[in-house]
Amino acid sequence: MPKLVLYHAAPSRSSIVHWMLEELGQPYELQMVSFKTGENRQPAFLAINPMGKLPALKHGDTVITEAAAICTYLADEFPQAGLNIPVGDPRRGTYLKWLFFGPSCVEPAITERAFPRKEPPSRTTLGFGDFDTVVDVLAKAAAAASPFLLGQKFTAADVIIGSGLRWGTMFKLLPERPEFKGYLAALAERPALRRATEKDVELQKAQEQAS
Interface with ligand GSH (CB under 6 A): 12-13, 35, 40, 52-55, 66-67, 103
Minimum gap (Å) between residue 107 Cβ and ligand GSH: 7
CB nearer to ligand GSH: give 35 or 100: 35
Minimum gap (Å) between residue 175 Cβ and ligand GSH: 22
Cα Rg, the chain, nearest whole Å: 17
Residue whose C-beta lies closest to ligand GSH? 53
Hey, which residues does 151 pair with through a beta bridge? 148
Separation of alpha carbons 103 and 107, rounded Å: 5
Task: Give every strand in the sheet of 29-32, ordered side by side.
Answer: 29-32, 4-8, 56-59, 62-65
CB 70 within 8 A of CB 55: yes
Minimum gap (Å) between residue 53 Cβ and ligand GSH: 3
CB nearer to ligand GSH: give 37 or 146: 37
CB 95 within 8 A of CB 153: no
Minimum gap (Å) between residue 32 Cβ and ligand GSH: 13
CB nearer to ligand GSH: give 20 or 179: 20
Q: Is the peptide bond before 147 cis (omega within 30 degrees of 0)?
A: yes
Minimum gap (Å) between residue 52 Cβ and ligand GSH: 5
Q: What's the one-letter identity of residue 15?
A: S
CB nearer to ligand GSH: give 13 or 18: 13
Minimum gap (Å) between residue 41 Cβ and ligand GSH: 7
CB nearer to ligand GSH: give 52 or 147: 52
CB nearer to ligand GSH: give 33 or 179: 33
Separation of alpha carbons 144 and 130, rounded Å: 22
